[in-house]
């Protein structure tokens, strides 16, 4: 039988929640071995630009894949560093072993491990993990919680409904294409505060009720899947810039409330 979110019994849900956290634990241990180590080896994946990958990225994803081979051998895998493995169960794990490799190289603690589980409809379980701070944000299958230095508590997006009250995040000031940057600036000019450079950690902060908007462009499925599951479990909204499903356009608009999302969406559209 092909599995999806609608035909999982309590035992299956518990197993998937456990496996997701096991994968995050494995990647946490692997990445921390390399963080802020001068011996870390780095390669550039992008001709004419800089898209780094480190031995920490590859080692963490390899460790995750090895664990899935033992625990969930029929599930598919889509990873940033080692490609795709077909699913024979109906479920696929979507992995970004280090989201924010530039931040990892710089020694800043905003990089994250992103782990999601998807069926044919998309991601329905996600983990955003920040190993150095020791924070974990999990959403999906009826769960939405934070665990870290501040203890364990439920996640919940803020009730911010208007742009003048909103805190906005994007990774790069020069977001996307020139046209995308102009659209972003229409929103940024209306908010209370804009912050840069947080990569996937920004989505976790939205789910935790710390910020209100995340706008990004030029993303890949492994950048998007886990944040979407966590944000939606926390009560937030995540679409592309036209209000459709995230993915093909590589654009993300994540918002704490539907009212805020609608206001930002209108400005992005011009």
How many whole angstroms separate alpha carbon 232 and alpha carbon 210?
Answer: 15
171, 219 contact by CB (below 8 A): no
pLDDT band at 172 (very low <50, low <70, confident <90, very high): confident
Q: 130 and 213 in one domain?
A: no
Q: Is the pLDDT of residue 167 over 80?
A: yes
Per DSSP, helices labelled H in 178-245 are: 178-188, 201-207, 221-233
Q: 118 and 234 in one domain?
A: no
Average pLDDT, the chain: 94
**Mean local confidence (pLDDT), 20-30:** 98
For 85-97, what is each residue's pLDDT tens digit? 999 999 999 999 9
pLDDT band at 265 (very low <50, low <70, confident <90, very high): very high
Closest alpha carbon to 240 in 214, 211, 212, 204: 214
Look at residue 143 in the predicted model and tell me its pLDDT.
97
Element (H, E) at 92: strand 92-99
Q: 177 and 116 in one domain?
A: no
Q: 199 and 220 in one domain?
A: yes
**Mean local confidence (pLDDT), 13-23:** 98
Q: 48 and 150 in one domain?
A: yes
Q: 202 and 167 in one domain?
A: yes
Q: 167 and 133 in one domain?
A: no
Q: Which of residues 134, 154, 174 is at a domain's end?
A: 154
Please tell me the total count of domains within the chain. Answer: 2
CATH number, domain with residue 70: 3.30.540.10
Q: Which of residues 154, 185, 218 is at a domain's end?
A: 154
Q: Which of residues 100, 134, 154 is at a domain's end?
A: 154
CATH number, domain with residue 197: 3.40.190.80
Q: 144 and 185 in one domain?
A: no
Q: 94 and 149 in one domain?
A: yes
For 42-60, what is each residue's pLDDT tens digit? 776 655 565 667 889 999 9
Residue numbers of the domain that contains 56: 5-154
User: What is the number of helices (H) and of strands (E) in the chain?
Assistant: 7, 15
Look at residue 180 in the predicted model and tell me its pLDDT.
96
Q: 263 and 207 in one domain?
A: yes
Q: 150 and 18 in one domain?
A: yes
Q: 130 and 56 in one domain?
A: yes
Q: Is the pLDDT of residue 3 over 90?
A: no
Can you tell me whether residue 114 is helix, strand or coil? Answer: strand
Work out the angle at residue 129's Cα, subtended by the Cα atoms of residues 104 and 133, and round it to the nearest 5 degrees.
Answer: 65
Radius of gyration of the chain (CA): 18
């Amino acid at each position: 039988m092909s599995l999806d979110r609608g035909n999982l019994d309590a035992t299956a849900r518990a197993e998937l929640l456990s496996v997701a956290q096991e994968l995050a634990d494995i990647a946490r241990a692997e990445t921390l071995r390399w963080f802020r180590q001068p011996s870390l080896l780095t390669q550039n994946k992008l001709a004419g630009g800089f898209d780094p990958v480190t031995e920490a990225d590859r080692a963490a994803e390899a460790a995750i894949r090895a664990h899935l081979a033992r625990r969930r051998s029929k599930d598919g895998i889509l990873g940033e560093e080692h490609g795709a493995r077909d699913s024979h169960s109906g479920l696929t794990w979507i992995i970004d072993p280090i989201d924010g490799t530039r931040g990892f190289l710089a020694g800043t603690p905003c990089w994250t491990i992103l782990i999601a589980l998807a069926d044919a409809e998309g991601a329905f379980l996600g983990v955003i993990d920040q190993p150095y701070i020791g924070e974990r944000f999990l959403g999906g299958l009826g769960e939405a919680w934070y665990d870290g230095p501040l203890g364990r508590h439920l996640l919940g997006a803020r009730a911010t409904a208007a742009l003048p009250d909103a805190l906005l995040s994007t990774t790069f000031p020069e977001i996307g294409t020139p046209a995308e940057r102009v659209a972003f600036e229409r929103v940024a000019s209306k908010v209370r505060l804009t912050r840069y450079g947080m990569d996937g950690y920004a989505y976790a902060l939205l789910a935790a009720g710390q910020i209100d908007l995340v706008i990004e462009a030029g993303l890949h499925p492994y950048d998007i899947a886990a944040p979407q599951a966590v944000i939606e479990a926390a009560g937030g909204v995540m679409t592309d810039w036209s209000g459709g499903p995230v993915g093909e356009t590589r654009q993300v608009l994540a918002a704490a409330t539907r009212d805020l999302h609608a206001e930002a969406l209108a400005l992005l559209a011009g």
